[in-house]
Amino acid sequence: MSITNLKRELEAALLITDWSPTEDELREIGNRIKKLGRSASKTDIEKIVYDVVGSYECMALEGVDNTDLTTLLLLATKTTK
């Protein structure tokens, strides 16, 4: 998968509305997600994104939906090979 697809999936999973990560930052995010493996939670991924790119703007909705985390993990794995 491409870096662009990883970015889109992160935006969808975390409801990101405004950010400007570089390709290097997206690769770093992918590497860190890959290291977490299947134990990655949405909160873990949010922390990774914040650690790598700093503040970003996102929507806040009630409830937690982790269905997109598997897709993110697969994309992160494929972009870092």
pLDDT tens across 44-65, in order?
999 999 999 998 888 776 666 6
Q: Give the pLDDT band of residue 72 (cuts 50, 70, 90).
A: confident
Q: How far apart are CA 2 and CA 65, in angstroms?
A: 24
| pLDDT(81) > 70 | no
Domain boundaries, the chain: 3-79
Mean pLDDT in residue range 26-54? 91
